[in-house]
């Protein structure tokens, strides 16, 4: 896609998000803190349901284990993993005001340089000179580009303490527990371990709210495999078509996508390890289930100079956002045995295993990793709709903050009494309910629509006569009467119809 980002979309979504409690800039009382975000009650519910859907799509599908490992880790762990020396971004300092900027971001967003992330330090320095790039802060001259470490340190204890790091990914908490996890996983390959948790990165110049944070949540899994044993994909996955922007195509200066089925991709050797393709196929369905437009999703193979230090091959799942352009939501890395061998070399501990056929192997790892806040933002933007001059969220039912809103037509005791009885009944059936009796019924419908609740039930004076209520759909605004006794089945059926 070559269309330009539309900044008005950002403002509209950010305004809706703050007014309705999805997310906002925290610490405004103290001037704010860049690179952090506060997620309110409504946003929390959507985020939590996205995480639940990911667990279903990946963890339940493959029968994976789960883990909740510490956020803090000893420095030696991140020396062994290569993060202390290799987890960096390209940066530049203003010689006048000493502000530090992430250079590829500055060049791409403020100076229109495409693919700035792929350039080396010498190339970036030439771009600074040829484009007369200056400090966005004070218009001062920029110094020489350098590599800035992204790890966030923590000094534990008293005195000199113990130097540690806040984790930049959840993976090392899995790799360091490999021996125990392998035993718990019945000592056979393949097996996988998943985590959802907070991670920390010392972003140089964080911008764009949910898309560039110093503290955020990731959904990540490590699949341990014998590299000599290829996967046998689920037949439902082999026909999934993946829009791939390959390394070869990019090096030729093109952005033309190759649309290949998983089966064809495996047959043509697209993936260094075929588990990468399997997880990409699952991810395509997962993103679609969030209401993200599949025609605006691509899997871009990262070039060698872009890849993380541990990756032999790495695809990014990118989504086109009208407010920003192409944004990475997830990475699919073939980490080989890099991590386990790093910990073996550092500790002297043997992390190899003996397979069922008797050969020794250090397991290889395939890692899908999703940034939850980025996925949340993409789902919100792709489901943002404008109607009669205002915006609302047409979220799929499974990630809406609530299943149904319940309104008495007016704030009258006799109507409120019945409405609360309906509320209690639906809660017993495990529906997530929103109750609102404040303001006019039109305003309550609008508030419910804005945050994406798919259905609304209104109790009126006819309800008192015949025990029927009005069910209203968010997207069509169509209404129908239904008996209170039928609500459980009617709501369940309607919610199913509202899935992508």
Q: What pLDDT shows up at residue 86?
A: 86
Task: Report residue 36's pLDDT band, with 50, 70 and 90 as the boundaries.
Answer: very high
Q: Given pLDDT bands bounded at 50, 70 and 90, which one contains residue 158?
A: confident
pLDDT for 2 beyond 60? no
Which two structure tokens, joined as six digits, stand for 87?
């987890």
Mean pLDDT of 343-350: 96
pLDDT given for residue 155 in this prediction: 82
Binning pLDDT at 50, 70 and 90, where does residue 120 land?
Answer: confident
Query: Within the chain, how many helices (H) and strands (E) appear?
Result: 19, 26
Distances, alpha carbon 326 to alpha carbons 1, 138, 208, 288, 296, in Å: 9, 29, 13, 17, 9
- d(CA 348, CA 86) in angstroms, rounded, equals 22
| CA nearest to 380, candidates 324, 463, 311, 419 | 324
Question: In the predicted model, what is the mean pLDDT of residues 223-245?
Answer: 96
Structure tokens at 453: 């609740």
What integer pLDDT is reported at residue 110 of this predicted model? 81
**Average of per-residue pLDDT across 180-187:** 94
- Cβ of 307: how many Cβ atoms within 10 Å? 17
Domains recognised in the chain with CATH numbers = 7-85+151-382 (3.30.930.10), 88-149 (3.30.40.230), 394-497 (3.40.50.800)
CA 475, CA 441: separation in Å to the nearest integer?
17
CA distances from 364 to 139, 191, 353, 414 (A): 48, 11, 11, 65
Average pLDDT, integer, range 202-220? 89
pLDDT bracket for residue 489 (50, 70, 90): very high
**Using 50, 70 and 90 to split pLDDT, how confident is the model at 188?**
very high
pLDDT band at residue 466 under the 50/70/90 scheme: very high
Looking from the CA of 486 toward its CB, the CA atoms found within 13 Å total: 12
Confidence of residue 1 (pLDDT cuts 50, 70, 90): low
Q: What is the mean pLDDT of residues 272-295?
A: 98
Helices (H), 290-434: 338-347, 372-382, 413-428
Residue 55 has pLDDT above 70, yes or no: yes
414-454 confidence digits (pLDDT tens): 999 999 999 999 999 999 999 999 999 999 999 999 999 99
Average pLDDT in the 359-375 region?
A: 97
Written in H, E and C, the secondary structure of 157-186 is CCCCCEEEEECCCCHHHHHCCHHHHHHHCC
Confidence of residue 160 (pLDDT cuts 50, 70, 90): low
Rounded to 10°, the helix 103-111/121-130 angle is 40
Mean pLDDT, the chain, rounded, equals 94
Q: Is residue 330 over pLDDT 60?
A: yes
Which pLDDT band holds residue 91 (cuts at 50, 70, 90)? very high
What's the token pair of residue 146?
Answer: 């350098």
The stretch 222-230 carries a mean pLDDT of 96
Q: Which two tokens stand for residue 190?
A: 């393949």
| 369 CB-near residues (< 8 Å, 6+ apart) | 169, 171, 218, 219, 220, 221, 330, 331, 332, 333
Give yes or no for a cis peptide into 190 (omega within 30° of 0).
yes
pLDDT bin (cut points 50, 70, 90) of residue 161 is low
Give the predicted TM-score (pTM) of the model.
0.93
Per-residue 3-state assignment (H helix, E strand, C coil) for 389-407: CEEEECCCHHHCCCCEEEE
pLDDT digits (tens, 9 = 90+) for 15-26: 999 999 999 999
Helix (H) or strand (E) holding 335: strand 325-336
Going from the C-alpha of 466 to that of each of 299, 413, 421, 462, 484, the distances in angstroms are: 55, 18, 15, 6, 9
Mean pLDDT for the stretch of residues 182-209: 91
**What pLDDT sits at residue 172?**
97
CA distance 192 to 172: 14
On whether the CB atoms of residues 386 and 437 are closer than 8 A, the answer is no
């Amino acid at each position: 896609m070559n269309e330009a980002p539309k900044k008005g979309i950002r403002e509209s979504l950010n305004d809706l998000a703050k007014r309705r409690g999805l997310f906002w800039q925290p610490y405004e009382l103290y001037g704010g803190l860049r690179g952090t975000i506060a997620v309110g009650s409504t946003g929390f519910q959507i985020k939590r349901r996205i995480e639940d859907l990911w667990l279903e799509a990946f963890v339940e599908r493959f029968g994976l284990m789960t883990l909740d490992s510490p956020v803090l880790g000893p420095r030696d762990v991140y020396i062994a993993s290569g993060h202390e020396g290799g987890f960096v971004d390209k940066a530049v300092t203003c010689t006048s005001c000493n502000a530090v900027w992430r250079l590829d971001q500055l060049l791409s967003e403020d100076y229109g340089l495409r693919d700035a992330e792929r350039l080396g330090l010498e190339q970036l320095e030439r771009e600074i000179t040829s484009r007369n790039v200056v400090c966005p802060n004070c218009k001062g001259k920029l110094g020489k580009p350098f590599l800035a470490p992204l790890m966030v340190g923590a000094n534990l204890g008293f005195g000199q303490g113990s130097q540690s790091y806040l984790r930049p990914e959840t993976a090392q908490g899995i790799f360091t527990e490999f021996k125990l996890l392998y035993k718990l996983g019945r000592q056979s390959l393949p097996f996988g371990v998943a985590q959802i948790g907070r991670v920390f990165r010392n972003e140089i110049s964080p911008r764009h709210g949910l898309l560039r944070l110093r503290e955020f949540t990731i959904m990540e899994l490590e699949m341990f495999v014998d590299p000599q044993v290829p996967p046998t994909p689920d037949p439902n996955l082999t026909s999934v078509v993946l829009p791939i922007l390959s390394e070869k195509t990019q090096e030729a200066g093109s952005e033309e996508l190759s649309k290949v089925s998983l089966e064809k991709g495996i047959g043509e050797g697209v993936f260094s390890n075929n588990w990468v393709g399997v997880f990409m196929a699952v991810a395509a369905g997962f993103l679609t289930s969030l209401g993200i437009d599949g025609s605006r999703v691509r899997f871009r193979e990262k070039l060698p100079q872009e890849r993380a230090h541990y990756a032999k091959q790495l695809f990014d799942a990118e989504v086109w956002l009208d407010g920003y352009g192409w944004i990475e939501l997830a990475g699919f890395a073939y980490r080989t045995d890099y991590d386990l061998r790093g910990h073996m070399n550092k500790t002297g501990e043997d992390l190899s295993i003996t397979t069922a056929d008797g050969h020794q192997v250090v397991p290889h790892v395939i890692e899908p990793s999703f940034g939850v806040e980025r996925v949340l933002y993409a789902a919100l933007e792709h489901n943002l709709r404008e109607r009669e001059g205002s915006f609302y969220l047409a979220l799929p039912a499974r990630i809406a903050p609530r299943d149904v809103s319940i309104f008495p037509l007016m704030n009258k005791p006799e109507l409120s009494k019945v409405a609360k009885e309906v509320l209690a009944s639906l809660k017993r059936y495990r529906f997530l309910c929103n109750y609102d009796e404040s303001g006019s019924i039109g305003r309550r419908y609008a508030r419910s629509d804005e945050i994406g609740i798919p259905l609304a039930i209104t109790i009126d004076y006819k309800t008192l006569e015949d025990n029927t209520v009005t069910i209203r759909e968010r997207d069509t605004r169509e209404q129908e009467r239904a008996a209170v006794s039928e609500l459980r089945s009617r709501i369940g059926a309607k919610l199913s119809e509202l899935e992508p």
